A and B are shown apart, each in its own frame.
Chain A
Amino acid sequence: MEDQKLKEYIDALVEEKVNEKTLAFQNQLENIQQQLSTVQVRENEKITMLVTSFELDKVIPAFIIANGAASFGMDVTLFFTLWGINALKEKSIYKGKNIKEKMITMMLPSNPKSTTISRLNMMGVGTSMMKMMMKENNIETLPDLIDLSIDMGAKLIACQMTMGMMGITTDEIRKDVDFGGVALYIEEASESNITLTF
């Protein structure tokens, strides 16, 4: 009888100890599982582009690559600065601007349709020919490529510093565009697998 009691006592003691020990392991295991699940849902591959030019031969490749990358399921961010911002304009506004801003507004393109090639433009003849050849080869126009990139989930960011300098207002820029500065670009670029400049 004594033996039986002793046995029960020892069993209970052992079980308690085992539970105590395994609890630590269990917690550890749960921790690891949690970490694993966060690793598995890690962010997508990402591409960031810096677009400073508005020439057809720079800005078209930028959007072709943007759309291609989006088709591969990548997160795509395009940061537009200096002349690149022209690709995001939908109209020119003169109201409320000072004389210098009005002058630069007059000289800048008012929408992406007016992009020209950087070489052999020949007063627009070269550009027209190039655009004709693109059409014959079923290559989308710049405005179509821009719309497509938005549709594919690309994030377009206009540089606020350039806009401030040139007096470009947010009303002149298309609605689906974000605004930001160098910090936003660096943040996006630092998380990217690919960065390109156009």
Chain B
Amino acid sequence: MPIVKIAKTIRTIEVSEQIEVLATDPAFKADVEAWIRKTGHLLISYTEEGRNRIAIIEKTK
């Protein structure tokens, strides 16, 4: 569950630090966008390469 891993990791970093997430979950784009909308963190970039989906997220609070 990539979203769970993101939520766990975001707790361990400082505000304005970024994390890069590599996922293969087909629903990852929809999930990460919903998570961003709800939690208010920033989605810096989202790219797809084959099965891999890469998101860069910045902690805002």
Contact = CB atoms under 8 A, between A and B. Distances in A.
A152 B39 contact: no
A66 to B, nearest CB: 10
Nearest to A45: B38
A71 B24 contact: no
Nearest to A67: B4
Contacts of B7: 70-73, 152
Contact of A72 (B1, B25, B39): B39
A66 B8 CA distance: 14
Nearest to B31: A68
Interface in A72-88: 72-73
Given A73-B39, A152-B8, A68 B3 contact: yes
Nearest to A71: B7
Contact of A138 (B4, B6, B24, B38): B24
B39 A67 contact: no
Contacts, number: 31
Q: Interface on chain A toward B: helix, strand, loop, or mixed SS? A: helix
Q: Interface on chain B toward A: helix, strand, loop, or mixed SS? A: helix
A72 B8 CA distance: 11
A109 B8 CA distance: 31
By Cβ-Cβ distance, the 4 closest A-B pairs, closest first, are A71-B7, A71-B3, A67-B4, A71-B4
Given A71-B3, A71-B8, A72-B7, 12 more contacts: A67-B1, A67-B4, A68-B1, A70-B7, A71-B1, A72-B35, A72-B38, A73-B38, A73-B39, A140-B1, A148-B4, A152-B4
26 contacts: A64-B1, A67-B1, A67-B4, A68-B1, A68-B3, A68-B4, A70-B7, A71-B1, A71-B3, A71-B4, A71-B7, A71-B8, A71-B35, A72-B7, A72-B35, A72-B39, A73-B7, A73-B38, A73-B39, A138-B24, A140-B1, A148-B1, A148-B4, A151-B8, A152-B4, A152-B7
